[in-house]
Amino acid sequence: MTTLTREEIVRGLAENRESPNGAVRNAHAEALAGAAETSGDRALFREALDNLINAYLYSSESSRMLVPFARLLQEYDKDPGAFSHWDAHSLFWQFKWVATAISDSPGIPLESATGWLDEMERRYRIAGYSERPVREAELWLADAIGEDERAERAFRRWLAAERDDMSDCRACELNGQGQYAVLHGDDAEALELWKPVLEGDLTCAEEPHRLLATSLLPLLRLGRADEARSHHLRGYRMARGNESLLPSVGKHIEFCALTGNEPRGLEILAEHAAHVAPLANLDDRLAFHGGILVLLRRLRELGHGRTPAVPYEGSPRTVDELYEVLYAGCLDIARQFDARNGTTRVSDRFLAQVGREPLLAELPLGVRSAALPQTASAPVPTPPGPGPALTAAAFTELVKRARRARDLGHPGTDALWAEVAVRLDALPEADPLVRADLADQQALAAGRRGAEEAPELLSAVRDDYRALGVAERAALAELRLAGVAAQSGAAPTEVRALLRVALRSAEALDAAEPLRARRIALVELSAIRMESYLRSVETPDSDGHHDHHGELAAELTDFVAAHEGTLADLVAEAEEMLGRVALTQGTPERAVPLLAASAARAALAGRPWQAVDPLVLRAGVLMSLERPEEAEAAARSALKHAAEVTDAETQGVVRLTLADILLQRGDAAAESAEYALAAAHWFDQAGLTADGGAHARLLLARAYAGDGRSAEAAEVLQSALADLLEHGDQQAVSVREFLGDLLRRLNEPRPAAEQYLLAAEVTKGWEDPRPQAGLAHSAADTLSDAGLAVEAAAAYERALELHRLTGEVPVAEVRILRSLAWLGLREEVTATTVSAARKRMEEAAEVLEAALAADPAAPELRSELAQTWHQLAQVLDRHVNTNEQSHEAADEDEENDKDDGDQGLVDAGAEPPARLSPAEVNGLRLEEIELWDRASRVYAELGPDHLRDRFQCLNNAAWTEQERGDAAAGTTRVTALIDEARALPEDDVPDWLLPSAERLLAQLNDRE
């Protein structure tokens, strides 16, 4: 085994503190602690023990902190004086973690757990700390062992005890207080307590992460499903992949299982497959696996026991197999707690959790989840059984309802005939006409789906109706035969022949037949529609000499004129077709009234569902004509009329249309999100997840972003990203840029930069370089934010090159040059790096001066020039200050080296940069002042919008004068501004200006 030097251990500890939480970090921390102990350096050993305790805490092995803590406590008892104030505070703070870990470790006897609690109380009292943390630890131990009266006393003493610097943060305390309320059945009280944390007013390293998960079931139980959805999307994003938050991940999985989102639960489980193992922390294991078991039980109930789950201990497991192994393991842990505690409380709570029934049958989450796989063990949906036999009168009434729905074209027709079919099988004898009607419905369904047997089925239906003397239904079957022929691509001559047969059959109906006129008109309208198609087949538009749309419009207009006062639903259909023709002809203004008339006529005819399509189309046309108020009204009307529509795709389209209009309105993002969420759900139901569902999720993400809900927006967008990328390069670029913007808002610069770079890659072959330039610029900014200076510089250089290709975006070019200037100073501030930064700033100024030569009054260009001077002054100021600080530090080191003898030779090779002479410093200071004055004058000319920039320049110049020893010059500047402000009308002076200027003047005077 290689012995580490002290320097290697110190460096290793620094690296370990920055490492991701988990087993790898823990193992490294253990090795460092061992090496530190071997070194004999007690201070280093204490530091290594402290690091090991912290590593364990934020992992799934938190129970293992007991041993290093006990060692560290021994070190303290041996020599308390060796612990600094901060070291001692840290040790006592860790006592709270240990108290929790002991309570959560069933292998530690109850007497030992109580003894540790007593020891904590004794040490806190001697050290002068409040008993508040002690009482909190006592509460949870008493609750676990079933001593409810003691728990209540501890709870009250916890709240009554004074808060001091040993108390948990308010966010963590509120978490515990709310959980205690939940245990007593008061979800509302818990949520009220948690409110400051859930709303972001109180935060810490693990809050609101944990509370967002803990609040899920209380919210559902109180009927606040929208908040629960939001907490799931936000909270899971925070908890994902974090070892110390595995219990929270388990709660998110359980939430999915209890809201009809089992596929989402499976996806979360798969993301954490590596942690579905015998965790060292048994309490965390019980919590994490308990949530998983709720999901697995639901999947088994749904018939998915044989569906693959995730591996366990290296072996693939089905849902059934994983359930059995996790259940046995959790039950064993619960019984270990019971044996130690002398109560069944832990196992009772575990069993109650696993047996929970769903709280909602279905809660759309907005995120895309794959459907559960079809398996042999999954129950196959079957039509409802016959149930209690209907009386003859009841069956007759059912048939009447089905026929009325059929004649109206009601969306519920298929469902009614499906029930007739089931009931018909239970009757010993049935009316032949009912059987013919049922066969007609089945033939119609076959025709809709393009089944090969449709013509044969329709011919049989026609013959049955003729045999039964129902000529009007036979005539309708003839017309449907023509429609099926056209749909299957039959020759125009064949389709026209079938239409002639259908027309003759309609015209041959008895004059007394009430439906005769309707059947004839229906053939006419169908012929108009099909004839337009047939003409396009025979003389395609590419021939350039046939006005198919004009002929179709003329025929439809004649049809409307002939039947306007009688057959309202058919006229409405013709008007909708006329509206669509008008759009095809490029006359949207003409389409608007036609579509409105179609919808109104359908509604008056008692067929509101028929109004949905023209209203949705009208809403889209109105938006294109920039008439958003009318568009919104049309979309809302469509939603109202869609109440009885059973087609899932139509329901999705209606909601997506309204959501889009509301989002574009600019002040209705929250309402837009509601409709986009519902649209995504309907598209999923229609099997269009990758198409309409993807667009609905994109709109939902934009609505969430517009409502300030960036985390939810990112979660939704990332779930649909793969689908959205399949819809063309333009959308791929737009979506990746949007996701990058969201991740940037969430302070996730590295993944944000990745999205910008991927989007830029798509645009490489585009003729216009501006999109790639903008994306490269965004990537550079985020790479810089992530601390990746080399990568950021490369991206800035690429963006600069692309912007210069366009020659149209001087402001973007200038901002890149300034960013490059500052980036060059990130690692070190020396004469060389400052010179390079100065060149970048001067280059930026030259670009702006050239642009201003063409447009001298451009306010944006003038503002950017002032900002460039301002920042150049800041660069020079950084140079002076850094140089002085480095030499002050060098002087101190030199003094220390004299005191320490030869030890100073260790760093003998580290030469500080050449010290600036007083003349050089003064010259730089004067240049700074001149630059700030120059910028300030431009800001003054640009007016009130730049008053803060002007004040900042004045502030910087005044302090720089002070540092030069010319305090009077600085106070003169500020006094002049104050006088100027007081001379202005009161309403023209911002509230902040005079107080800020007077405070600055006082500070300058105090320094004189």
Report residue 651 CA to chain centroid gap. Answer: 24
Give the model's pLDDT for residue 904: 38
Angle of helix 110-127 versus helix 85-103 axis, rounded to 10:
160
**pLDDT > 50? residue 213:** yes
Give the model's pLDDT for residue 967: 85
**pLDDT > 60? residue 733:** yes
Long-range contacts of 720-724 (CB under 8 A, 24+ apart): 720/367, 720/368, 720/693, 720/694, 723/368, 723/689, 723/690, 723/691, 723/693, 723/694, 723/697, 724/694, 724/695, 724/697, 724/698
Q: What are the structure tokens assigned to 949, written together?
A: 């920039």
Nearest residue to 349 via CA among 152, 182, 567 = 182
Give the model's pLDDT for residue 900: 44
User: Which residues, 6+ apart, have CB-to-CB distance to 784 below 8 Å?
Assistant: 792, 819, 823
Sign of CA dihedral 695, 696, 700, 702: positive
Give the model's pLDDT for residue 291: 98
Phi-psi domain of 787 (left: phi exceeds 0; alpha: psi -120 through 50; beta: other)? left
Q: pLDDT over 90 for what percent of the chain?
A: 77
Give the model's pLDDT for residue 894: 54
Local confidence band at 547 (pLDDT 50, 70, 90 cut-offs): confident
Per-residue pLDDT tens for 837-879? 999 999 999 999 999 999 998 999 999 999 999 999 999 999 9
Give the model's pLDDT for residue 425: 76
Query: Mean pLDDT over residues 187-198, rounded?
Result: 97
Give the model's pLDDT for residue 975: 93
Query: Mean pLDDT over residues 730-754, rounded?
Result: 97
Which of 6-10, 65-69, 397-401, 425-429: highest mean pLDDT?
A: 397-401
Give the model's pLDDT for residue 902: 41
Give the model's pLDDT for residue 393: 86
Per-residue pLDDT tens for 951-998? 999 999 999 999 998 888 989 989 999 998 898 888 888 999 999 999
Local confidence band at 910 (pLDDT 50, 70, 90 cut-offs): very low
Query: Mean pLDDT over residues 519-546, rounded?
Result: 82
Nearest residue to 281 via CA among 116, 103, 53, 64 = 64
Tell me how far CA of residue 176 lies from CA of 197, 270, 341, in angstroms. Answer: 12, 30, 21
Per-residue pLDDT tens for 167-184? 999 999 999 999 999 999
Give the model's pLDDT for residue 1: 45
Average the pLDDT over each of 492-496, 566-570, 981-985 and give the range with the smallest value.
Answer: 981-985
Give the model's pLDDT for residue 97: 86
Query: Mean pLDDT over residues 482-491, rounded?
Result: 93
Q: What are the structure tokens assigned to 170, written together?
A: 């308010």
Give the model's pLDDT for residue 905: 34
Local confidence band at 903 (pLDDT 50, 70, 90 cut-offs): very low
CB 287 within 8 A of CB 353: no
Give the model's pLDDT for residue 66: 86
DSSP-assigned letters across all residues of 177-197: HHHHHHHTT-HHHHHHHHHHH
Tell me how far CA of residue 250 lies from CA of 240, 538, 891, in angstroms. Answer: 11, 64, 57
**pLDDT > 90? residue 895:** no
Give the model's pLDDT for residue 371: 85
Q: For the chain, give the mean pLDDT.
A: 91
**pLDDT > 70? residue 896:** no
Give the model's pLDDT for residue 388: 56
Local confidence band at 1007 (pLDDT 50, 70, 90 cut-offs): low
Query: Mean pLDDT over residues 760-771, rounded?
Result: 92
**pLDDT > 50? residue 118:** yes
Query: Mean pLDDT over residues 55-77, rounded?
Result: 86
Give the model's pLDDT for residue 988: 82
Give the model's pLDDT for residue 913: 63
Beta bridge partners of 207: 204
Per-residue pLDDT tens for 222-252? 999 999 999 999 999 999 988 889 999 999 9
**pLDDT > 90? residue 708:** yes
Q: What are the structure tokens assigned to 228, written together?
A: 């629960």
Q: What are the structure tokens assigned to 176, written together?
A: 């515990």
Per-residue pLDDT tens for 341-391? 999 999 999 999 999 999 999 999 999 998 887 654 444 444 444 455 678
Query: Mean pLDDT over residues 306-315, rounded?
Result: 93
Local confidence band at 140 (pLDDT 50, 70, 90 cut-offs): very high
How far, in Å, CA of 183 to CA of 345, rounded? 12
Local confidence band at 887 (pLDDT 50, 70, 90 cut-offs): low
Phi-psi domain of 387 (left: phi exceeds 0; alpha: psi -120 through 50; beta: other)? left
Average the pLDDT over each of 124-138, 593-607, 883-897 and give the range with the smallest value.
Answer: 883-897
Give the model's pLDDT for residue 892: 54
Q: pLDDT over 70 for what percent of the chain?
A: 94
Per-residue pLDDT tens for 413-454? 999 999 999 888 777 677 899 999 999 999 999 999 989 999
CB 212 within 8 A of CB 354: no
Give the model's pLDDT for residue 269: 97
**pLDDT > 80? residue 891:** no
Tell me how far CA of residue 457 lies from CA of 11, 447, 452, 466, 842, in angstroms. Answer: 82, 9, 10, 14, 83
Query: Mean pLDDT over residues 492-499, rounded?
Result: 94
